[in-house]
Structure 1
C-alpha cells in the first residue's frame, strides 16, 4: 500500500477525485483517517461526452450542457472541500476536442475546482496505481486493461510500479460512433471493428509479450459489465475468451444494438456495450489472453492516492523530473544551486506577488532548474530549445498537460533572447505569475553561470510591480564584475518581457 508519513497517521482528511471520461463522469469522495482510506460516496453519470464530438473535432452544445449540469451537481457535493483536497482530470475526449480550453473554463466554474487534462500515458499510470492499491501486496507481475470511452489503457507492472504502458486510441464510445452509429449490428461490422482494434494493438504487442505477466486484471465500466454478464451466464465473474467469442457471435447475429441484450447487462451500459465487448475481445486475441478478472478500482482511486502523495510530500512529479534529469545526465549540483537561488527570490517576494502559498510555484522553479540542461545531451548550441522539446514531448509522470506546458515555457525561455510573443499564449492565470517566475529563474541562471556555489551569496531581489532590483553591496559588485556585465546584458533581455532590472549597491552597514 501507499507509504504514509506520521503526519497522515494522526490526521483526518476528506478528499475527492473526479474523472471526466469520454463515456461517464465519475466522482469518489473519501476520508483518510489515521492512514486508512474509507470511501464515503461514489457518483457516476453517463454524460456520453465522446458522442458530442462533431466532425470538426469540437464538442457540441448538447454534450457540453450535459457535462456542465453533471459537474454542477458534483460541485454541490464537494463545495466544502478546499482546492488542495480535490483532483479532477479530463481524458481522451478533452485531449482531442478543438474547443477544449473554452469548455474547461465553464467546467471549472461549474465544478468549483480546477480540472487538468492528462496525457494518455499519465492516465495509464494513474489507472495502474488505482488497481494496484486494491490488490494484495504480492510479487506477481500483472497486466491491467482499462477500456474507456475514447481510449484503452494497457499496463504491465509489479506491485505499484508500472513497467510498460500504452494508451491506445480505441474505446467503447469511439467504436460505437465509428462502426455502429446507426444502431445496426452485423457480422461484417463486428469483424471490421475487431480488425480496427487489432491494428491498434499490433504495434505494441511484442513489447508487452516480452515483458510478460502472470495475472490479467480489467477495470472500467465496460469490463465490469462484461464480468456481470459472465456471472449471469456461467456462474463465475471471470471473463474467458470463449465467453467473449460467444458474445461477439451473438452481437453479429443481432439486428441492432437495442436487440442485443445478454443476461446480466444493465440498461445504462447497453448503448456502448458492443463497443467495449469488441475492444476486449481484440485485447484477448492480440495479447493471447485466456481469462481476466475484474477490479472495482481504477482511475478515480489512482487519483486519490496520487493526491495523498502530493499532500504528503511524496509527489510523483518530482520523482519523474529527477528520473528524466538523470537519464539525460543533467548536472544535479548546478540544478540545486540555481533552484535554491530562484526559490529564495520567490520566497522573499511572496507578499509583493500576492501569493498565499509559494510552494506550488517553487516546484516549477526547482523542476525547471533540474531539466534546463537536459538538451545538452543533444547539442550545446541552442540547448535550451532542445531541453524544452524534450520536456514538452516526453511522458512526465504526474503532470497534467497544462503543468507540462508551464514547465516547458520556463525552460524554453530561460536563456538568450526571450520570445515576448510567447506571453500572449499564456492563460490569464499564468500570465499573472509565469513571466515573473521566468525573470527570477533567468537571474538565478545568470548568477550561477560560473557554476560555483558562492555566486549568489550576499545578493537579494526585490520586486515592485515590473521593477526588479537585484541588490548587493558595492564590494560584491566589485568582486563580481563579470557577473555584473552578464546581468547588464540580461537587463536588456528582461526589458523585452516587460521588466526593468536595476542593479543598485547598498551600503555594507545597511541591514
Structure 2
C-alpha cells in the first residue's frame, strides 16, 4: 500500500492481504518489541475469485468486480487503523488466470495496491513461515499441508530452511466443482490420488522424511474444530492436551459421516458444526485431506492457526528488522494458540483492547519512575507476563460463567505445551 515509509523501530501495525481462490483475507497485526505478532483485526470477504471462470481459466467479470469491492473495503479499514505498511499477495486463482494482469492493473490504478502474484513454491514457503509463528517447531523437520480453494501447498522444512516445496492443482473449490460434474466420490478420490502420485511429491517426501505433519488452512482448522467440539468420543472434549491436532482415524470417521448418502452434503456439514461459508466446500476438502494422509503416510497432524498471511508479515519483519528471529519465543506462540483455541465468542477482541490499555498504563508508570529517580523498575519482560495473563484470563468462559476464572487456571495448568 502506498504511503510514507515508517521506520521499523517506530512501526506498530503491519498488514497482509491474501487474495485467495475462495475468499480474500485481511490481517492487521501489532508487532511487539520482542518480535511477537499479535493479531488486531481480521476481515474476510467471500469473493469466490475462482468461480465462473472461462474455459481458459480467465477471471470472470463479476468475480473481478467482487475482488475490487473487497479490496476497497480492506483499504478503508487500513486507513481507519492508520496502517502504513501492507503487502498484497494473490494465489492460485489469479496465478493461473490468463487475464490476471488486467485485474492487477485495475487494483493498482483504483486502490494503490501493488499485488504480488505468488508462485506455488513461494506461497508454500510463506505458509511455512506463518506456521513457525504459531507452533514451536523451528528445530524439527516438518511437512506442512495447506489446502486452498484452487491449490494445495506442500512444504518439507527444517530450521527456517525449505527443503522442498510444491503446489498442486487440488483445491476445495475446484474439487467441489469436479464432484458436481461427476457426482461420485469414488471418481473424486481416484482423481486426487492420480494427481498426487503423478507429481514428484510422494518420492520427495519419502526421500526427505518428516517428524511432524502440520495443517495450516481454514479447511483443516475447520475439520479439527468439528472433531474437537462435536467429537466422536465425549471424553476427548475434556482432554485439553489434544486440541489443535487429530488423527487419520478421526478424519476417516468424519469423511464417512460427510459422504454418507443421507441427508444432503450441506445438511450433514451443518450438523457436524461447520460454519455456513465452509459447508459448501468442506466435503471435497475433507476427502482431499484423507487422500493426502493415506498417500503420504500421515498418521496424525498438528494444526496451525497461522498460515499465509502471518508468513507474509513475518517476511516483512525479517526484511525490515535486523533483530527479528522467525524461530523465537515458542512460549509466547503457545499462549496465543491457547487463547485462540478457547476464544468461543471472539473474546480475544476484548482481551486485545485490554492489552492496549494496559500497555499505556505500563509505559506511563515506567516514565514516572524515570522522572523520579532516573531508573525504570519495570522492564519489557514484565509486560510480556501481563500480556499473557490478559489473553488467557477469560478462556474458562467457554465452559460457563460460574467459576470461569478457576476453569481458566485449570486449562492453563493442564495443557501440555504451556
Shift of the 110–260 alpha-carbon distance from structure 1 to 2, 3 Å rule, reads: farther
Shift of the 107–52 alpha-carbon distance from structure 1 to 2, 3 Å rule, reads: farther
Q: Which residue of 2 aligns with 1:77?
A: 77
- 8 Å CA contact 1:284, 1:290 repeated in 2: yes
Shift of the 84–312 alpha-carbon distance from structure 1 to 2, 3 Å rule, reads: farther
Residue-by-residue CA offset, 1:344-363 (whole Å, 9 max, x unaligned): xxxxxxxxxxxxxxxxxxxx
CA distance in 1, matches of 2:26, 2:111: 11
Q: Which residue of 2 aligns with 1:416?
A: none
2:196 maps to which of 201, 219, 236: 201
1:304 maps to which of 299, 302, 313: 313
2:299 maps to which of 290, 301, 322: 290
CA distance in 2, matches of 1:174, 1:54: 13
Q: Which residue of 1 aligns with 2:149?
A: 149
**CA RMSD across the alignment:** 2.4
- 8 Å CA contact 2:227, 2:254 repeated in 1: no
Deviation at 1:241, TM superposition (A): 1.4
1:271 maps to which of 273, 277, 280: 280
Q: Which residue of 1 aligns with 2:186?
A: 191
Residue-by-residue CA offset, 1:233-277 (whole Å, 9 max, x unaligned): 233543221222223333332354323324221111001111211
Note if 1:230 corresponds to 2:227. yes
Note if 1:131 corresponds to 2:131. yes
Deviation at 1:83, TM superposition (A): 9.4
- 8 Å CA contact 2:221, 2:303 repeated in 1: yes
User: Greater CA deviation, 37-46 or 216-225?
Assistant: 37-46
Q: Which residue of 2 aligns with 1:252?
A: 259
CA distance in 2, matches of 1:126, 1:314: 19
- 8 Å CA contact 2:215, 2:303 repeated in 1: yes
Q: Which residue of 1 aligns with 2:51?
A: 51
CA distance in 1, matches of 2:316, 2:323: 9
Q: Which residue of 2 aligns with 1:21?
A: 20
CA distance in 2, matches of 1:275, 1:288: 20
Shift of the 93–314 alpha-carbon distance from structure 1 to 2, 3 Å rule, reads: farther
CA distance in 1, matches of 2:106, 2:181: 29
Q: Which residue of 1 aligns with 2:94?
A: 94
Deviation at 1:82, TM superposition (A): 8.9
Deviation at 1:57, TM superposition (A): 1.8
Shift of the 109–72 alpha-carbon distance from structure 1 to 2, 3 Å rule, reads: farther
1:217 maps to which of 214, 225, 236: 214
- Residue ranges of structure 1 left out of the alignment (5+ in a row): 1-6, 316-511
Shift of the 159–229 alpha-carbon distance from structure 1 to 2, 3 Å rule, reads: same
Shift of the 142–258 alpha-carbon distance from structure 1 to 2, 3 Å rule, reads: same
Partner SS state of residue 190, structure 2: helix
Partner SS state of residue 136, structure 2: coil
Shift of the 311–226 alpha-carbon distance from structure 1 to 2, 3 Å rule, reads: same
- 8 Å CA contact 1:11, 1:33 repeated in 2: no
CA distance in 2, matches of 1:181, 1:296: 33
Residue-by-residue CA offset, 1:210-249 (whole Å, 9 max, x unaligned): 2111111101110011001111223354322122222333
- 8 Å CA contact 2:16, 2:312 repeated in 1: yes
Which of the two has higher C-alpha Rg? 1
Deviation at 1:93, TM superposition (A): 0.5
Partner SS state of residue 259, structure 1: helix
Residue-by-residue CA offset, 1:331-384 (whole Å, 9 max, x unaligned): xxxxxxxxxxxxxxxxxxxxxxxxxxxxxxxxxxxxxxxxxxxxxxxxxxxxxx
Shift of the 83–38 alpha-carbon distance from structure 1 to 2, 3 Å rule, reads: closer
CA distance in 1, matches of 2:194, 2:125: 23
CA distance in 1, matches of 2:322, 2:169: 34
Number of residues paired by the alignment? Answer: 303
Deviation at 1:25, TM superposition (A): 0.7
* Structure of greater relative contact order (alpha carbons < 8 Å, 6+ residues apart): 2
Shift of the 269–28 alpha-carbon distance from structure 1 to 2, 3 Å rule, reads: same
Deviation at 1:147, TM superposition (A): 0.2
Relative to the length of structure 1, the TM-score reads 0.56
Note if 1:240 corresponds to 2:247. yes
Q: Which residue of 1 aligns with 2:345?
A: none
CA distance in 1, matches of 2:51, 2:265: 16
- 8 Å CA contact 1:91, 1:117 repeated in 2: yes
CA distance in 1, matches of 2:132, 2:47: 27
Deviation at 1:110, TM superposition (A): 4.7
Partner SS state of residue 226, structure 1: helix
